[in-house]
Structure 1
């Protein structure tokens, strides 16, 4: 009879050792408790470049946090007013007003506590955190008037004090609008050897600006033709807020009755060149794409119609018979500034909301040239004129700020009499107004091939650009703020988004 002896194999020894080690580690973790140190895992604006459309950032933590201790210890330098909301381990900070442009910001958090620290009689604090982001540079676009810049689109970076001429000498720019990311400009232009104001074609040009700090920008000044004038005249255009659609007012060269709005996408999924298609609706006048980029408000007949960009435009989404013009929409589309033309030749400005409210804001004997909603406060800035001579019909332009809650008016600036061709534009952060002061050529002065003209057809000799800083309308020091003349000659100034 034989006996067998059990032997422990080497592999068994390794397995036993690993089991003992794992058991020891499990016991150690149980003895120490939950030792994961609280820290900020992600910060959504880390090293990002933001614009006025960016309204909130998120901090995500590794552990549930004592929310009050986080809120008490969170610091943003320079300060940015906002409100805080929580969803589990995520904290969302929503800005109350757009962050001022051309500024570097630092976000710091230290001293905040773990949610369960008091229950475990520990003082577990968050790992000190520092994050950084910046806002876009303050930059403007305008049409030059000096000999080498005449009729050309110019970008001026106010933050860096740098100027770039974007368009070539053989094009005279007539109108333009930046894309929402600021990387391109859509513009209409005629050639220098064609004085016909109805000969405009549509182009885009790159600005050399990247919408994000970590992106490589395209070279500035690359011009691409978007829409020619072979069969139709391109009269006016508007670019949708999302930058994906262009609406153009066009007229058939050989058939004056063929006149109306056309719609064109800025890009296609296939990569092919986009084409324009007529928006089948009644002919209209001035128009503006709505903030949601899905409809267009157009003066039609005796009122203002809201037409869908896609679908049956013969059936308006809404029609407001008492108003002849939409001057501006608020950014969220909940409010509009609308003009009523009266039989006594006066004009009324109304605030119209999507809830059906129609609130009168002002009446003028002159014109309502431009209005823009402040993104930072319930304020509407308007460029108006007042009739000072009925016999000669002389108008004096002025700028006014209107408190939309109280309808209180606050005059900001009075411009020279008879200088009706003024363009005004509000900065995306709501902190500055741009405007121009055009000097017309003498009546008998000779005209060159690239002579610049105002909206009324007057030849432009020169023009200055001005910047007016803004403070909240309730601030008593607003009246003491004076506009600053910029070291630039041009007209039709526009802030980059």
Structure 2
């Protein structure tokens, strides 16, 4: 018995020492916590576990980010101390430990942003107790580059697709010198451009010899890497052997092309075709005038003589809708639930020499925004779909028929019209509203009827293009009646400009 007790003594001593040590440690932690309070090194404050836009490149479709905390937070202290630089107006909402910040307008392109949060505290169930102050947080993200493409008109750029990055002040020619580009559209990610082109030196006959191609831009996730040599790679999409290729449209998801084609042997064989990657071109068996793929990529709006037809993107499908009142579709809103259209007032003798601009939505609303004796050349919705920017003309008084072109902004809700800037001419103007809605890009084409220039670039009317100016119109940001639009000529020579999405 004595031997057994003797053998247990070291274990007993070790147990007593361990119990005593842990007791002292616990007591020390309790006393230390009371003595040093919230600033004690033994206590760790709340943290941001995840920031959904950390090191991301966002575009105009990204409208909210989420901050996830490691514990419940005092909402008032978080909202008070949340700082975004440069500022991005928005609204805060909560779901447990997750904060969602929803932007009022799209992120302006070409900038890097910081999200900073400090001095916010955690939340206790007993509201009287002061929570710990959080660990300071700094997150970063950037928006896509502000960049554009255009068709050059002079020197080595003539007839070629040119990419200009305003953010990085970098320019490069994308297409080879033996092709003359007629029209183009960006793919949604900006990494490629779909374009129609003919061989050089064909002049007006080039309009009947167009092929469809793609070219890479060197843009990756909305940002260009000047050191990347991936730009300028050409791929032929559609030949011109049997059919003449005319106007085309690219779907919002970049997966579908619709193109108007005419049989070279039989001009009466005139149809719209659908082209998808990896599949043979297929007839839609749809005839009509101007057309546009709907933003949901599922249907096609086609001008059909006495109205606008909405048809599925399937061969010989029955129409989904028909709008007999309208003769021209100008633009869809980004969501696709509304559109801007023109009523030529052919059914009203009192309005026969006027045109009306309408806002039409899928709820049956048809709201007239403008009735004019001038022309409605083009309109584009802002990214929020709440406003329209339009290029219009006003009929001037006098013995001669003269029109004064001008830009105007329409507020869809109130119907208010705000004139922005007057122009001297509007021939062949192509407008493009930036994806963040902050700037309008447009051109002024210089043409000539000189027959000696027949091998030059030509417009759709067959006139030789001898030059082009590119302009930037920056509308007033606020509703201050004293603020004016800023009109700038860009140091670029070309036509048909388009913004990088």
TM-score, scaled relative to structure 1 = 0.88
C-alpha distance in 1 between matches for 2:6 and 2:182: 95
Tell me if structure 2 keeps the 8 A contact 1:437–1:463: yes
C-alpha distance in 2 between matches for 1:382 and 1:212: 27
Are 2:93 and 1:85 aligned?
yes
C-alpha distance in 2 between matches for 1:123 and 1:434: 52
What secondary structure, in the 3-state scheme, does the structure 1 residue paired with 2:496 have?
strand
Per the TM alignment, residue 179 of structure 1 is displaced from its structure 2 partner at its CA by 0.9
Q: Which residue pairs with 1:121 in the alignment?
A: 129
Q: Kindly report the root-mean-square deviation, in angstroms, between the aligned alpha carbons of the 2 structures.
A: 3.2
Deviates more, 1:113-122 or 1:37-46: 113-122
Q: Could you give the per-residue CA deviations for residues 81-101 of structure 1, whole angstroms, max 9, x where no partner exists?
A: 111122221111111101111
From the superposition, tell whether residues 363 and 22 of structure 1 become closer, same or farther in structure 2 (CA, over 3 Å).
Answer: farther
Are 2:46 and 1:41 aligned?
no
Per the TM alignment, residue 300 of structure 1 is displaced from its structure 2 partner at its CA by 1.7
More helix by share: 2
Per the TM alignment, residue 301 of structure 1 is displaced from its structure 2 partner at its CA by 3.5
Q: Which residue pairs with 1:453 in the alignment?
A: 458
Deviates more, 1:24-33 or 1:181-190: 24-33
**Aligned pairs (5 A) from 1:17-96:** 37-96=45-104
Tell me if structure 1 keeps the 8 A contact 2:190–2:222: no
Per the TM alignment, residue 62 of structure 1 is displaced from its structure 2 partner at its CA by 0.8
Q: Could you give the per-residue CA deviations for residues 39-94 of structure 1, whole angstroms, max 9, x where no partner exists?
A: 00111111222111111111111111122221111000111011112222111111
C-alpha distance in 2 between matches for 1:457 and 1:45: 49
Are 2:269 and 1:258 aligned?
yes
User: Which residue of the other structure, out of 356, 359, 372, is the alignment partner of 1:364?
Assistant: 372
What secondary structure, in the 3-state scheme, does the structure 1 residue paired with 2:219 have?
coil
User: Which residue of the other structure, out of 398, 415, 430, is the alignment partner of 2:437?
Assistant: 430
Q: Which residue pairs with 1:307 in the alignment?
A: 311
C-alpha distance in 1 between matches for 2:258 and 2:102: 33
Q: Could you give the per-residue CA deviations for residues 413-441 of structure 1, whole angstroms, max 9, x where no partner exists?
A: 22224x42111111111111111111112
C-alpha distance in 2 between matches for 1:305 and 1:49: 38
From the superposition, tell whether residues 26 and 428 of structure 1 become closer, same or farther in structure 2 (CA, over 3 Å).
Answer: farther
Q: Could you give the per-residue CA deviations for residues 369-420 of structure 1, whole angstroms, max 9, x where no partner exists?
A: 2110112572211112344599976544321111212222222222224x42
Tell me if structure 1 keeps the 8 A contact 2:421–2:485: no
Q: Which residue pairs with 1:336 in the alignment?
A: 339
TM-score, scaled relative to structure 2 = 0.87
Are 2:236 and 1:233 aligned?
no
Q: Which residue pairs with 2:161 in the alignment?
A: 153
Q: Could you give the per-residue CA deviations for residues 278-305 of structure 1, whole angstroms, max 9, x where no partner exists?
A: 1133x11111111111111111231111
Are 2:198 and 1:194 aligned?
no
From the superposition, tell whether residues 235 and 23 of structure 1 become closer, same or farther in structure 2 (CA, over 3 Å).
Answer: farther
Q: Could you give the per-residue CA deviations for residues 182-237 of structure 1, whole angstroms, max 9, x where no partner exists?
A: 11111111111333212111111111111166999661111111111111211111
**Aligned pairs (5 A) from 1:169-188:** 169-188=177-196
From the superposition, tell whether residues 218 and 119 of structure 1 become closer, same or farther in structure 2 (CA, over 3 Å).
Answer: farther
**Any unmatched runs of 5+ in structure 2?**
35-41, 347-351
Per the TM alignment, residue 466 of structure 1 is displaced from its structure 2 partner at its CA by 0.9
From the superposition, tell whether residues 85 and 248 of structure 1 become closer, same or farther in structure 2 (CA, over 3 Å).
Answer: same
From the superposition, tell whether residues 213 and 424 of structure 1 become closer, same or farther in structure 2 (CA, over 3 Å).
Answer: closer
From the superposition, tell whether residues 36 and 43 of structure 1 become closer, same or farther in structure 2 (CA, over 3 Å).
Answer: same
C-alpha distance in 2 between matches for 1:405 and 1:122: 46
Tell me if structure 2 keeps the 8 A contact 1:117–1:124: no
Are 2:252 and 1:246 aligned?
no
C-alpha distance in 2 between matches for 1:57 and 1:91: 8
Are 2:235 and 1:224 aligned?
yes
Q: Could you give the per-residue CA deviations for residues 423-478 of structure 1, whole angstroms, max 9, x where no partner exists?
A: 1111111111111111112x3351253x1122332211111111111124733244
Q: Which residue pairs with 1:274 in the alignment?
A: 279
Deviates more, 1:288-297 or 1:386-395: 386-395
From the superposition, tell whether residues 317 and 390 of structure 1 become closer, same or farther in structure 2 (CA, over 3 Å).
Answer: farther
C-alpha distance in 2 between matches for 1:224 and 1:58: 40
What secondary structure, in the 3-state scheme, does the structure 1 residue paired with 2:318 have?
coil
From the superposition, tell whether residues 27 and 218 of structure 1 become closer, same or farther in structure 2 (CA, over 3 Å).
Answer: farther
Q: Which residue pairs with 2:38 in the alignment?
A: none
From the superposition, tell whether residues 411 and 308 of structure 1 become closer, same or farther in structure 2 (CA, over 3 Å).
Answer: same
C-alpha distance in 1 between matches for 2:129 and 2:413: 51
From the superposition, tell whether residues 416 and 30 of structure 1 become closer, same or farther in structure 2 (CA, over 3 Å).
Answer: same
**Aligned pairs (5 A) from 1:132-147:** 132-147=140-155
**Any unmatched runs of 5+ in structure 1?**
268-272
Are 2:216 and 1:206 aligned?
yes
Deviates more, 1:153-162 or 1:212-221: 212-221
Tell me if structure 2 keeps the 8 A contact 1:396–1:420: no
From the superposition, tell whether residues 213 and 364 of structure 1 become closer, same or farther in structure 2 (CA, over 3 Å).
Answer: closer
C-alpha distance in 1 between matches for 2:266 and 2:20: 90
What secondary structure, in the 3-state scheme, does the structure 2 residue paired with 1:141 have?
strand
From the superposition, tell whether residues 61 and 390 of structure 1 become closer, same or farther in structure 2 (CA, over 3 Å).
Answer: same
Tell me if structure 2 keeps the 8 A contact 1:43–1:131: yes
